[in-house]
Amino acid sequence: MKPKEIVIVSGKGGTGKTTISSSFCKLAAADVVICDTDVDAPDLWILLDPKIENTWSFTGMAQAEVQQDRCVECGLCRDFCRFNAIEMTDNNKAFVKPSACEGCGGCSLLCPVQAIHMVEREQGKYYFSKTSAGEFWHARLNPGGENTGLLVHLLRKEARETATIEGKSLIIVDGPPGVACPTISSITGADHVIMVTEPSVSGRHDLLRLTELCSKLGVPFSIIINKYDLSEEYHQQIRRECNERSWNLLGAIPFRKAVVDSIASKQIPLEQLNPEIQQIWDKFKQILAE
Amino acid sequence: MRNRPVRIAVASGKGGTGKSCVTSSLVLSRDEVIAVDTDVEEPNLSLLLGHELAPLKDVEVLVPRIDPSLCSACGKCSTYCLYGALTQIGNVPPMLNKTLCHNCGVCSTICPESAIREVPFKVGEIRSYDSDKLKIIEGRIDIGTVNSVPVIKETLETASSIGEMMVIDCPPGTSCPVVASIEDADFVLLVTEPTPFGMADLEMALELARIMNKRCGIIINRCDLSEGNVKGLAEKYEAPVLASFPFSREIAESYARGISPVKVDSLWSREISRVWNFLEREVRS
């Protein structure tokens, strides 16, 4: 049977994606492959204590590099570049800022003396690891690294292959915050998205944008309200909205200092999230089976 | 003398550590600053400043439009589009996938028949609030937009044209949206929490600031919830700890209702004033 891929996202950062993902990994009782696609702030590894089996370099797209001794100082490349990635240095030679180059290759096509070449650069690393909860695909983008979407795509593909080969029925993906490139890359084509929100004016605002994105991409989703007791007003409002729009509300979890303490000691806070997390998990398994 | 307004960026690595709390507190404690929100995927600084924003302008990028009467279906554009946004099948003009397009202009430049024109395509908008006391500029991508960077750049340009000091609420993470947000910043404030997650992401953010040659300082939020070694990182990266705030249920509850910590907590107002004193010395030197 084809494994089901579940992606945990939030819109807003810091609502508890990784806390809930890690607990789900444990509840899945080893019938799971795990994947962290928050590649520029990956944290799930901290709770899973992975034994890295393999490491690969991620190069992403090639970027432009100027061979300065060939540059004739015409400035065509600088004028063409839409990303303002090319500057003329003090000696009037072209220089490409790696952090700004998007790798379109236009400059190297235009250069009249072929002084610009496209060069692959390491943008980060990705890993296959073993953990006590299951096999784990994760990555780390270099600070300022490019091509997040591509790296996310690659990790999901690898996780799907591992799950298929190992005959696991579930893939749990700990996703990134936001609604653009890495999020779109994380949820496109997934079987189900779980949104972790918090009861605040910001949490609600960000949740609504995320539901809009999922609807646009046609991915089914459910919602968990974390730290629900921090605002009774927004807790009730989000509940009401879920009800009105027939969104699956899986449940709500109160704020507990014990959860923070467990994370501080790098332990998955499963017991500290109970009894709620078990009920949420059971409800979710039902929805997934339907 | 500098010929452009000072930019203070508030970033974090990890999301949800309190960037918007710090940005809103800074903005509400000083006159003549512009509050800028470059977390264009999930902008919510204005929610904490308590003002409704009005649309100012659309952000558009250029995408190719192919004139079928001129296209010879030679396939050159799809070969040279390194993002795979143009697909050429058979003897008909190529198909465009707008979400993959990076608006680089290569296709229209290399088309031998000049069959490709570039046309504007809306990817987001800039919204603003303007009163004597407070100015807010917010960028916001349309849902479904993949690349947030053009909206971030336009937001910063719009704010910068006003000509006052800017405090920028940045997106989380350490990749291109953050690079674009702090690129021209004079000082970067990194907001963290001393949990293992906060520490790991703070180190990545400090690393980014180092690569980009930015001066930065650290603000520790919920400093009593965990015991991460922020001081160790602060020393390693020569980034001073400028303020520490304990977890407070009262602050969390008022934040939930959209009230900035500086309005409800005397420790926040005192410490944020001290941060301003530090920043004014720092950006002048």
Angle of helix B196-211 relative to helix A257-264, nearest 10 degrees?
60
pLDDT of residue B1: 40
| Cβ contact B220:A152 at 8 Å | no
**Are A54 and A68 in a shared domain?**
no
Q: Which of B147, B197, B211 sits opposite A143 (nearest CB)?
A: B211
Interface test with A, best of B17, B21, B42, B156 (most A CBs within 10 A): B42
The answer to whether A14 contacts B44, with C-beta atoms less than 8 Å apart, is no
The answer to whether the beta carbons of residues B85 and B96 sit under 8 Å apart is: yes
> Within this chain, do residues A129 and A48 fall inside the same structural domain, yes or no?
yes
H runs (alpha helix) in chain B: 19-28, 45-49, 76-80, 106-110, 149-160, 176-182, 196-211, 230-236, 249-256, 261-264, 266-284
pLDDT at position B197 over 80: yes
Please state the domain extents for chain B. 7-59+124-284, 68-114
pLDDT in tens, A197-242: 999 999 999 999 999 999 999 999 999 999 999 999 999 999 999 9
Contacting residues of A for B225, CB less than 8 Å apart: 257, 260, 264
Could you please state the CATH topology (level 3) that the domain comprising B68-114 is classified under.
Alpha-Beta Plaits (3.30.70)
Gap between the Cα atoms of A91 and A68, Å rounded = 10
With vertex at residue B255, the alpha carbon angle to CA B252 and CA B259, rounded to the nearest 5 degrees, is 140
Q: Do A215 and A263 share a domain, yes or no? A: yes
Cβ contact B226–A144 (<8 Å): no
Say whether both A87 and A112 belong to one domain.
yes
> Which ipTM score applies to this complex?
0.94
Question: What CATH code is carried by the domain that includes residue A48?
Answer: 3.40.50.300
Nearest-Cα distance to chain A for B174, in Å, is: 5
Q: Per-residue pLDDT tens for B216-235?
A: 999 999 999 888 899 999 99
Q: Coil, strand or helix: which one is A249? A: strand
* pLDDT attached to residue B172: 97
How far, in Å, CA of B183 to CA of B11, rounded?
Answer: 12
CB A127 within 8 A of CB A120: no
Nearest residue of A to residue B17 by CA position? A14
Q: Do A229 and A196 reside in the same domain of the chain?
A: yes
A33 and A90 fall within a common domain: no
* The total number of residues written for chain A in this structure: 290
Cβ pair B225, B244 in contact under 8 A: no
Domain limit, last residue, from A74, A99, A119? A119
Average pLDDT along chain B: 95
Residues 6-35 of A with CB under 8 A from B: 10-15, 18
The model's pLDDT over B16-72, given as tens digits with 9 standing for 90+, comes to 999 999 999 999 999 999 999 999 999 999 999 999 999 999 999 999 999 999 999
The tens-digit pLDDT sequence of chain A (290 residues) is: 799 999 999 999 999 999 999 999 999 999 999 999 999 999 999 999 999 999 999 998 999 999 999 999 999 999 999 999 999 998 899 999 988 899 999 999 999 999 999 999 999 999 999 999 999 999 999 998 888 999 999 999 999 999 999 999 999 999 999 999 999 999 999 999 999 999 999 999 999 999 999 999 999 999 999 999 999 999 999 999 999 999 999 999 999 999 999 999 999 999 999 999 999 999 999 999 98
How many residues comprise chain B? 285
Residue B132 — pLDDT band, cuts 50, 70, 90?
confident
Rounded Cα gap, residues B40 and B55, in angstroms? 14
Give the model's pLDDT for residue A86: 96
Minimum Cα–Cα distance from A230: chain B residue: B253
CA angle A223/B52/A238 to nearest 5° reads: 20
B14 and A13 within 8 Å at the Cβ level: the answer is: yes
Q: Which of residues 145-204 of A touch B (CB under 8 A)?
A: 145-146, 148-149, 176-184, 198-203
Q: Are residues A24 and A90 in the same domain?
A: no
Half-sphere exposure of A280 (CA within 13 A, CB side): 24
A243 and A143 belong to one structural domain: yes
The Cα of A156 is separated from the nearest Cα of chain B by a number of Å equal to 18
Residue A86 belongs to domain with CATH number: 3.30.70.20
Pick the CATH number of B7-59+124-284 from 3.40.50.300, 1.10.3720.10, 1.20.1630.10, 3.40.640.10: 3.40.50.300
Q: Does A82 sit within 8 Å of B104, measured CB to CB? A: yes
Q: What's residue B71's pLDDT?
A: 97
- Report percent pLDDT > 70 for chain B: 99
Nearest CA in chain B to A62: B82
**Token code pair at residue A118:** 């496209």
Q: Which domain holds residue A189?
A: 4-59+124-289
Same-domain status, A95 and A217: no
Residues A255, A189 share a domain: yes
- Residue A86 sits in the same domain as residue A218: no
Distance from CA of A4 to the nearest CA of B (A): 24
Q: Note whether A82 and A181 are same-domain residues.
A: no
Closest B-chain CA to A266 = B196
B112 cis-preceded (ω within 30 degrees of 0): no
Could you give the number of structural domains in chain A? 2
Answer whether residue B3 shows pLDDT above 80. no
Per the listing, tokens 């707008």 go with B98
Gap from A126 CA to chain B (nearest CA, Å): 16
- pLDDT range class, residue B133, cuts 50, 70, 90: confident
